[in-house]
A and B are shown apart, each in its own frame.
Chain A
């Protein structure tokens, strides 16, 4: 048997032997990521399995020493069970998926014609047109949402125009509903849809479409049997890029959606800030992450998005 000191000295020499410029360099970002990403995630999972109490901090520890020699681990699945039995949360999941799904489809409907039109312009203006698509994206996110509050609110731009021309007698309720939230999401994430679509459409050989015309197909047939299948990679990538941020979105539903659009992101916020129920907020976040992972796995199966580099 080695003595304890000998063992310690052995391990220290092993560790020192490992110290090199290379490993030191690796350890810097590794430590950062470990401390401020992996640890928070583990703590989040831990708290989602704890019990909520009225105290500071408002949860019980899941690991406890009892009478000095017994380690007790208490895992509480009640938070998760609550999420799938309480109507408010279930409705929240459905609302989130619906809002994100409808917005993704609308983004596709707006983005596809635009990407197609941009890809068909001459190469000179293409660069400018693409830059004009991203430009609003560089202005503040909140400002872009605010612009829609200004347009849609009861005393906003659209309603005052309608009233001026006597198209309506009373202001229409355009804001504080799921429609407004969808419009906001489409506006905010449209560039994410246009760019992958443009990349896919640009590669399509236009002579294929001409050939189909020569062989007597109508524009509609040509579009659905040539353009759509060939731009499928762009459609998958763009849809994932819109759906993923849309499902966890907090700011847009909060400002434009009103009480009706209680998405998961808003539920997490409310549970944390208003109900002070940290375990519920944590378990909601975990469920939200599962909702996010699904479309990514789906898109990666299709090998359209490379989120994780190969080398």
Chain B
């Protein structure tokens, strides 16, 4: 193969993207406490991670919040997408669409701060939501992920062939039946993708959660963030390696599924 500039660019580009992650994986097996000094192969940081009850509890909390908020967000987001694409014009639509998409570009600190101020005000007036459990984080994450899910589903509904729905309506199916028998099966892959995206976003969020979470709802990213403020820790390497491995397995499985479908 002869030398080409484009190959050189690609090599260094992907090196930049992957070298940091490879470093994390390799050094998670390092015995030494000091990350950059390789002293020998060891699994002790994984053992430390598994026996760390704070991290385990936080992981559990995070997964609970992420799955709950992703589920509600997908339901709300699908409804919103249908309203935007299929309901024609109605009063206040521009504000509605604007408010739905705004969290996409709003800085996380602003979303977190404004929601917290709102929760504080609500708690004073109605006594709800109490800021000690997971309710506030879940609500905040639904609001954040709702925009992403809506955008995804809306794009799919927009591309979809409307004639199928119209044909079913002409043949006397009720709108509700059309949705469940025709639209939903067609957009279901997008909905699953939306759920995964919402789950990942919720699992990843540290800023908004730090603002709105009460003392009883410390999520995993909050724990990781506070330990990163003190510098490097091999336990985080182990945690990151587990996450990266899980991700790679997921990607390989989905790649195989897509590949099989093509054949």
Contacts and interface: CB of A to CB of B under 8 A. Distances in A.
A195 B135 CA distance: 36
B108 A250 contact: yes
Given A37-B103, A114-B13, A157 B23 contact: yes
B247 A139 contact: yes
Interface string B222-259: 00110011011000110010011001000100010000
B130 interface: no
Interface in B92-113: 92, 96-110, 113
A29 B76 contact: yes
B221 A140 contact: yes
Interface in A223-282: 244-245, 247-251, 254-255, 265, 268-269, 272, 278, 281-282
Contacts of A34: 99
Nearest to B251: A135
Main DSSP-derived SS at the B contact region: helix
Interface in B77-93: 79-80, 82-85, 87, 90, 92
A129 B10 contact: yes
Contact of A114 (B9, B110, B211): B9
A22 B229 contact: no
Contacts of A160: 36-37
Contact of B118 (A43, A155, A288): A43
A138 B243 CA distance: 10
Nearest to B121: A43
A54 to B, nearest CB: 16
B118 A117 contact: no
A144 B231 CA distance: 14
Contacts of B13: 110, 113-114, 117
A153 B231 contact: yes
Contact of B34 (A139, A155, A268, A278): A155
Contact of A309 (B9, B87, B97): B97
B17 A133 contact: yes
Contacts of B100: 29, 33
Contacts of A145: 228
B210 to A, nearest CB: 8
Contacts of B154: 309
Nearest to B241: A143
Interface string A113-131: 1101110110000000101
Contact of B20 (A138, A144, A282, A307): A144
Contact of A248 (B98, B110, B139, B204): B110
A22 B9 contact: no
A41 interface: yes
Contacts of A141: 204, 206
B10 A156 contact: no
A281 B112 CA distance: 12
Given A142-B224, A296-B105, A150 B23 contact: yes
Contacts of A144: 20-21
Given A136-B21, A144-B20, A28 B118 contact: no
B27 interface: yes
Contact of B232 (A26, A150, A307): A150
A36 interface: yes
A105 interface: no
A21 B174 CA distance: 12
Nearest to B22: A147
A289 B110 contact: yes
A164 to B, nearest CB: 10
B104 A307 contact: yes
Contact of B35 (A22, A133, A155): A155
Contacts of A40: 114-115, 117-118
A25 interface: yes
Contacts of A22: 87
A163 B58 CA distance: 38
Contacts of B102: 37
Given A28-B76, A29-B80, A143-B244, A281 B6 contact: no
A117 B10 contact: yes
A179 interface: no
A117 B117 contact: no
A33 B143 CA distance: 7
Given A143-B21, A160-B36, A308-B97, 9 more contacts: A21-B176, A110-B13, A117-B10, A131-B255, A135-B251, A140-B224, A140-B243, A150-B20, A289-B106
Interface of A: 21-22, 25-26, 28-30, 32-34, 36-41, 43-44, 47, 57, 110, 113-114, 116-118, 120-121, 129, 131-133, 135-136, 138-151, 153, 155-157, 159-160, 187, 190, 244-245, 247-251, 254-255, 265, 268-269, 272, 278, 281-282, 285, 288-289, 292, 296, 307-309, 311
